[in-house]
Homo-oligomer: A and B are copies of this chain.
Amino acid sequence: MEHQDAAKKLAELGHTTRLAIYRLLVKAGPEGLAVSDIQQALDVPGSTLSHHISRLVNAGLMSQERQGRVLRCEACFPALSALVGYLAEECCVEQQGCCD
C-alpha cells in the first residue's frame, strides 16, 4: 500500500461517524447494509451521512451497489487488511523481538 493512500484511509476512518459506519459494515460482513439501515442505526441527517459515505467510498474503504431503490454498502475487506499490514510493516526492523 502506498503511503499517501494509507494516510488517506486512516484519516477517513478517523472520524467518529465514519468509523461507526465502517464498523457497522465490517460487522455486517459481505451481506452489507443499505444506506437507510446505517442511517437508522446512527441517527444522522441524510445529507451528512451521504457526505461521510462518499468519503469512505472515495478512499476505497467501502463500495456501493444499487439494488432497486436501495443502495447496498459493503466494506472493502482487503483494504482493511492492507491498511493494518502497512501499520505494522517493518515493525522493529532495527531491533528484533518487540513484535510477534
Assess whether B31 is in contact with A94, with CB atoms less than 8 Å apart: yes
- Of B9, B13, B29, B84, the residue contacting A92 (CB under 8 A) is B29
Known: A27-B93, A92-B29, A93-B29. A87 touches B10 (CB 8 A): no
Tell me how far the C-beta of A6 lies from the nearest C-beta in chain B, rounded to whole angstroms.
6
Please give, as numbers and ranges, the residues of chain B lying within 8 Å of A57 by CB-CB distance: none
Interface of chain A, main secondary structure: helix
Interface digits, A28-52 against B, CB 8 Å rule (1 contact, 0 not)? 1111000000000000000000000
CB pair B31 A95 closer than 8 Å: yes
Given contacts A7-B19, A10-B14, A14-B13, contact A26 B84 (CB under 8 A): no
What per-residue 1/0 map shows which CB atoms of A73-93 lie under 8 Å from chain B? Answer: 000010010011001111111
